Structure 1
Amino acid sequence: MPRYQQIARQLKQAISDGELAAGSRLPSSRTMALELGVARATVENAYGELVAQGWLDRRGQAGTFISPSATTGANNPASVASHPQGAPRPFQMGLPALDAFPRALWARIMGRRLRLQTRYDLVMPEAQGESTLRQAIAEYLRFSRSIDCQPEQIFITPGFQAAMRLVTHTLAKPGDGIWLEDPGYRYVRPVFDDAKMALHPVPVDDEGMQIEYGIRHFPNARFALLTPAHQSPLGVALSLPRRRQLLDWAVSNQSWLIEDDYDSEFRYHGKPLPPIKSLDGPQRVIYAGTFSKSLFPALRVAWLVVPQQQVEAFSRHTHLLPCTAPLLIQQTIADFLREGHFWRHLKKMRLCYSQRRVWLEQALQQQGFDVVPQAGGIQLVMRVRGDDRGLVAKARAAGLAVQALSDWRMVSQGEGGILMSFTNLTSQGMAQQVAKQLREAIT
């Protein structure tokens, strides 16, 4: 175990045993490093991990303190129920590795931006999003995803659901049909329900969405939403022949494709297939991305890349649905991208997630579970027999934040599964512990 994780574990044990009282101040990282005979960065990493998990609170120049919620349930420190308030629950999905985010670097960049702001930065921000961020995203997509777009084609939104609302307000009419992956990302369906659209579930197999099924059953749909790089939640990639078939259907039917590229950066083996948007000569693809998985979800910043001929229409609707992400946040993200920190962070996280996935896979297999292999992503699927909803209910009652695959289905039938994330499993021992807890909970 790395030295900083050893220090973090010792501090957690001291807090759980009551040796360190809630609200008490810890020594500075410099002082602690001298006492332990380690580098200051090692102590900073230990403190940072405990802050991310909710055990410690940073209070600026006042120092680092024991969180008041960290001692809850201290008599049973191994229990999931004693998890610090606000910390990720074991297996919680939708979160990146909070302990691995470079918070100190982020704070320096944000502080610099704050110091450089002028009085003109206090006016109403651009409804389409900060221009420097749109320029930085355009440059990133051009070199990383082979998507040739201009800053004016990019629209910043406060989250993925807000991006979908902008699409429906601009292009959709009540009664328009939309293909949705089945199983697929369930939290976006209410957006299309609110727009009074007809939801058309299209099954998913080992090659992604079954395009022929959609054409045969719902040929006149006006939209298709899919996750071709890493299907959510099954993790498969849409094959290249199906991508071409999908584009041909969109062109012939004058339909819109919404490509959700939510975690394509986290692929562990081989090169990912090119995004559909990079093949979009006819300009029928709306490309959506977010910083929630690559940086952290509290940012609430997503973006759309729209076809050039639709820029004016989307611009009109941004006055009704403007970007509400704080200007300081947008400027900080732009600097993080332009200075190369984003590239370095993604490279580090690919290695981190690859290792943590192996930890969880091995731990689950040791408990007799069957894990579905995937080439990347920040979550996995574990096959189960019988009622996966019932098993998940037992696991959630034990404090484990797993989800049932059946809850992500609309009408399709298939084998049961349990969905879980591994991003915040910070050690092999932690993975073994929560896998054992899962086995005990569902048996």
Structure 2
Amino acid sequence: MRCKQQAPFPLLLLEDGYIKENVYHTIRNAILDGRISTGIKLPSTRALAEMMSISRNSVIAGFERLIDEGYLYTKKGSGTYVCANIPDELIRTISHSQTISQPQYSTLNLNPLVATLSALWDKSRPNTNKRQMFNIGIGCVDQFPHELWGRLLGRVWRRSKQAIPNFNHPDGYLPLKKLLVDYVRSTRGVHCNEKQIIIVNGTQQAINLVAKVLLKQGDNVWLDDPSYDSARAILTAAGAEISPIPSDQEGMDITYGATHYGTAKLIYATPSHQFPLGTTLSLPRRLALLDWAQQNNAWIFEDDYNSEFRFLSKPIQALQGLDNHQRVIYAGTFSKMMYPGFRLGFLIVPEILSEAFTMMKYYSDSHCGYLEQAALAQFIQEGHYARHVRKIRKICHDRQNTFFNAINHSLSHIFNVQMTDSGIHTVCWIKAGYDINLILEQCRSLGFGAQPLSRYCIQNQNHNAILFGYAAHCENDIVDNIKLLSEKLCNIYPS
């Protein structure tokens, strides 16, 4: 054991963050890396609080935790000391942790699927910062009614004394499910009862549940090419064999899929608003897909993630509403209309599958949180959600037009903008003679979250385009940032 430190108590500086936690970590790390020797007496809590320019209560809380864990002890009438029996081996291990060799990633004996997914993860991981300009998949978050939502949460909380301890329904909060039956029937033409609805933590959990209930290792799954990259990753992680199906102006090419991948067990589709191209699956192809699924005992996962963002025409009836053979599993989400962190969605499954999906939901995470489900039920029942949807549609359409006009005014020599009647992002095709990598580099330098179309492609090579999300930004910000991009690109490509 080293001798006691005789020098004055070292100056300790807190890092940014939660102060009580940092008092604990600051002193603990100073002990373990040798800046404070074992056996030394610490300054009083009052003196240390003054030294660190924080409240005395924060220091007391940190001391109490260190005493509980055996780093410090007190002598009555004398003060607080660093324990003398902290092993040298522990101190050396911590203080020299930077020199400890780490095992090679390839030797960790992980599930091989981890390596399979790494390439997809590398594409998406740098873009998880949802605060970026023109990021993808975010609705009009600045229009969310925070105060109203807070009042609803408060009301539910005050009334929840009996409900919270007893809520454990894996399929969801029954009043919310009953309201959703009426809502999807009137807005999406979906036919169901509350027994068919499973409340889930967003679309990604919905895809996970579908994979767990319906697929075996090696089963074939149709996926649009290009398509939602997280769906591809989740289904790959479940052991599915992904079959890329070309998508054109009429949506997924059903004839191509039937000809080339006739043994598919599941078709993942976004018929109302193909992601990421924004097209709509034509009625002949919808009927062909339903017929093929029935004849081949296959299931269709209908991801209706964007149906409420239709601006000039009524929402197209969901594929599920045309299904006479109970082959469609329908998924809806609230995160686009509410905010990204609102992790509630729902599945509508054929009645024969209801028990299996409820069981799998229970063994995945038991159930979704009570408070948000109950507040959402109030939000819908009192008419707030319908009003919010009408408001968001108009604002989002205005922002789409603003983006379209800004691109055509400042960057029409570089981009062809693909406009659609719905959605919260736009595909900008790059004209001949311009380098997409160079343009993306300028977007990144401006802090844009715009994404290359190639991120969502499997085999499709026609991906010389960039996706810009516009819904989360006011019109002035859209115009100003397109001007900034134009200035950057004009320095490289003078007109």
- Deviation track 1:294-317 (CA, whole Å, cap 9, x = no partner) reads 111211111110001111221222
Q: TM-score, normalised by structure 1?
A: 0.78
Aligned partner of 2:419 in structure 1 is: 373
Aligned mates of 2:463, 2:450 — CA distance in 1: 17
Aligned partner of 1:355 in structure 2 is: 398
Aligned residue for 1:220, secondary structure, equals coil
- TM-superposed CA distance for 1:87, in Å, is 7.3
Cα 1:415–1:196 change in 2 (3 A) is closer
Aligned partner of 1:440 in structure 2 is: 487
- TM-superposed CA distance for 1:270, in Å, is 2.0
Unaligned runs of at least 5 residues, structure 1: 1-85
- Deviation track 1:276-323 (CA, whole Å, cap 9, x = no partner) reads 100111000000011110111211111110001111221222231135
Cα 1:126–1:389 change in 2 (3 A) is farther
- TM-superposed CA distance for 1:172, in Å, is 0.8
Aligned mates of 1:224, 1:96 — CA distance in 2: 26
Cα 1:387–1:251 change in 2 (3 A) is farther
CA contact (8 A) 1:158 1:323 kept: no
Aligned partner of 1:9 in structure 2 is: none
Alignment equivalent of 2:165, drawn from 122, 133, 136: 122
Q: How does 1:116-265 map to 2 (within 5 A)?
A: 116-265=159-308
Cα 1:265–1:120 change in 2 (3 A) is closer
CA contact (8 A) 2:225 2:457 kept: yes
CA contact (8 A) 2:332 2:346 kept: yes
- TM-superposed CA distance for 1:348, in Å, is 0.6
Q: How does 1:266-277 map to 2 (within 5 A)?
A: 266-277=309-320
User: Which one has a bigger Cα radius of gyration?
Assistant: 2
- TM-superposed CA distance for 1:125, in Å, is 2.1
- Deviation track 1:172-231 (CA, whole Å, cap 9, x = no partner) reads 101111100101111221211111100000010000001111001101100000111011
Q: TM-score, normalised by structure 2?
A: 0.70
Aligned residue for 1:281, secondary structure, equals coil
CA contact (8 A) 1:234 1:381 kept: yes
Aligned partner of 2:436 in structure 1 is: 388
Percent of residue pairs bearing the same amino acid type = 36
- TM-superposed CA distance for 1:412, in Å, is 1.1
- Deviation track 1:394-440 (CA, whole Å, cap 9, x = no partner) reads 3113211100011111001215111011112213x322211122223
Is 1:341 aligned to 2:389, yes or no?
no
Aligned partner of 1:426 in structure 2 is: 474
CA contact (8 A) 2:265 2:299 kept: yes
CA contact (8 A) 1:235 1:374 kept: yes
Aligned partner of 1:408 in structure 2 is: 456
Is 1:295 aligned to 2:341, yes or no?
no
Aligned partner of 1:55 in structure 2 is: none
- Deviation track 1:134-169 (CA, whole Å, cap 9, x = no partner) reads 112111111111112111111111121111111111
Unaligned runs of at least 5 residues, structure 2: 1-128
Aligned mates of 2:320, 2:272 — CA distance in 1: 11
Is 1:107 aligned to 2:150, yes or no?
yes
Aligned mates of 1:87, 1:227 — CA distance in 2: 23
CA contact (8 A) 2:426 2:469 kept: yes
Cα 1:226–1:434 change in 2 (3 A) is same
CA contact (8 A) 2:425 2:470 kept: yes
Aligned mates of 2:366, 2:419 — CA distance in 1: 38
Aligned residue for 1:257, secondary structure, equals strand
- TM-superposed CA distance for 1:110, in Å, is 1.1
Aligned residue for 1:297, secondary structure, equals coil
Aligned residue for 1:309, secondary structure, equals helix
CA contact (8 A) 1:113 1:331 kept: yes
Q: In structure 2, give the amino acid aligned to 1:383.
A: W
Q: In structure 2, give the amino acid aligned to 1:109.
A: L
Aligned partner of 2:4 in structure 1 is: none
Aligned mates of 2:179, 2:437 — CA distance in 1: 43
CA contact (8 A) 2:308 2:389 kept: yes
Aligned mates of 2:209, 2:463 — CA distance in 1: 35
- Deviation track 1:241-293 (CA, whole Å, cap 9, x = no partner) reads 00000000000000000000001111112233211100111000000011110
Cα 1:387–1:156 change in 2 (3 A) is farther
- TM-superposed CA distance for 1:343, in Å, is 0.7
Aligned residue for 1:247, secondary structure, equals helix
Q: In structure 1, give the amino acid aligned to 2:228.
A: Y
Cα 1:268–1:323 change in 2 (3 A) is farther
Q: In structure 2, give the amino acid aligned to 1:422.
A: Y
